[in-house]
Amino acid sequence: MDSALTLLGLVSLRPSYGYDLKQLYDRLFGLRKPLAFGQVYATIARMIRDGLLAPLGEEAGDGPDRKRYAVTPDGERRLAEWMFTPDVPSETLQNNIFAKTVVALLTGRDAHSLLDIQRACHMEQMRSLTRLKQGAGLMHVLLYDHALFHIEADLRWIDMTAARLTQLRDEVLA
């Protein structure tokens, strides 16, 4: 998953201190691997450089942990682009879709259409694989099947998530 864009999404919820960002991130996504403080600040610095984030208020000069950050209009655009662009199905995809969904829920964006768009992309992929499969030799059929089953697994996860969005929103916003 893209932790930078995820953090950007969290900031878009409300201007935040680096410390609060890390806490929120860990609660939502850090189940297996919490972020290090250094990583948070490095990412923030990179996004400020790219014009996606901006420090807030006049407390300049204090340490990074004393500053609040807010999302710039460029940042908002980048965020929307990320969120509503489907990821090409791959084995490591899930975390990213999950992050997108959570951020969308947090920030009041349309998580449903996010999932629908993702779903359509997956289906398209399955259709092209199925077309390739028609008339292919057994070796290839088995290869395509392997890919198809993985995409299908993602799709099932997407469907399950879509069906439980309301519940997820409640939990995320708790």
Decide whether 2 or 116 has the Cβ nearer to other proteins.
116
- Reading across the β-sheet that carries 16-17, which strands appear in turn? 16-17, 68-71, 53-56
At its nearest, how many Å lie between other proteins and the CB of residue 148?
6
DSSP H or E stretch at residue 56? strand 53-56
At its nearest, how many Å lie between other proteins and the CB of residue 1?
23
At its nearest, how many Å lie between other proteins and the CB of residue 93?
16
DSSP 93-131: HHHHHHHHHHHHHHTT--HHHHHHHHHHHHHHHHHHHHH
Backbone CA torsion sign across 116, 94, 105, 42: negative
Decide whether 69 or 144 has the Cβ nearer to other proteins.
144
At its nearest, how many Å lie between other proteins and the CB of residue 134?
7
**DSSP letter assigned to residue 53:** E
Decide whether 84 or 98 has the Cβ nearer to other proteins.
84
Decide whether 117 or 168 has the Cβ nearer to other proteins.
117
At its nearest, how many Å lie between other proteins and the CB of residue 164?
11
Q: Under DSSP, is residue 16 helix (H, G, I), strand (E, B) or coil?
A: strand
Output the CA–CA distances (angstroms, integers) from residue 54 to 16, 33, 70, 83, in the order listed.
11, 27, 5, 20
At its nearest, how many Å lie between other proteins and the CB of residue 56?
34
Residues that bind other proteins (CB under 8 A): 113, 116-117, 119-120, 122-123, 126-127, 129-130, 134, 148, 151-152, 155-156, 159, 162-163
Determine phi and psi for 108, rounding to 5 degrees. Answer: 70, 25
Decide whether 160 or 174 has the Cβ nearer to other proteins.
160
Decide whether 85 or 130 has the Cβ nearer to other proteins.
130
